[in-house]
Amino acid sequence: MESFNKTSLNTIIQAHKKQNGSLVSLLQDIQDTFGYLPREALQHVNTVLDIPLSKLFSIATFYNAFNLEPQGKNTLSVCLGTACHVKGGENLIAMMGRALGLDNSEGTSADGKFTIKKVRCLGCCSMAPVVKANDDIHGSMTQTKTANLLKKLKKSKR
Ligand code: FES
């Protein structure tokens, strides 16, 4: 990941113009480069391509895959769909939030190592409650299993 800079952003915009790609793919390329969609990047796209900021923000907020804030090195998605909610998903996210010093259980830890997100149904309800840690699904989570998962991720080099 690079820190936001206009040189890289202009390269992405030029490549996008040549390919005549969609707005979603442009935003995806920006996020892949900087790790999220910096506000300055969207403002620059607005200026250079004359695309209304409101349109850029509506796409960025419509798709769950886009992030408007910098993300931690590890993303923990805690499912709060019906099955996971019934089986204690709220308790897991509250516990993780406390462990990482996050006021309202969501967001990015001060050390930049973790981002916690609430999600709705990860498609494996029979394993509720479910936590997705980066690309891995962890089912039938308990407080102990969650604490161990956090411990393992804290030690990882990611
Ligand atoms: S409700 Fe959590 S995986 Fe479906």
SS3 assignment, position 24: helix
Pocket test for ligand 1, best of 130, 131, 137 (most atoms within 8 A of CB): 130
pLDDT beneath 50, residues of the chain: none
- Does the residue 31 lie in any domain? yes
To the nearest whole percent, how much of the chain has pLDDT over 90?
84
Cα 146 to chain centroid distance, Å, stands at: 19
Ligand 1 centroid to 86 CA: how many Å? 10
Q: Are 103 and 39 contained in the same domain?
A: no
- Does the residue 19 lie in any domain? yes
- Does the residue 1 lie in any domain? no
- Range(s) of the domain holding residue 25: 6-62
Q: Are 102 and 36 contained in the same domain?
A: no
> Is the distance from CB of 12 to CB of 29 less than 8 angstroms?
yes
Please give the number of the atom of ligand 1 that sits closest to the Cα of 79. Answer: 2
> Is the distance from CB of 67 to CB of 37 less than 8 angstroms?
yes
Ligand 1 centroid to 119 CA: how many Å? 9
Query: What's residue 9's pLDDT?
Result: 97
CA distance 116 to 109: 8
Ligand 1 centroid to 146 CA: how many Å? 16
CATH number, domain of 97, equals 3.40.30.10
How many domains does one find in the chain? 2
Q: What is the DSSP letter of 140?
A: S
Ligand 1 centroid to 63 CA: how many Å? 19
Query: What's residue 105's pLDDT?
Result: 82
Pairing status of strand 114-119 against strand 74-79: parallel
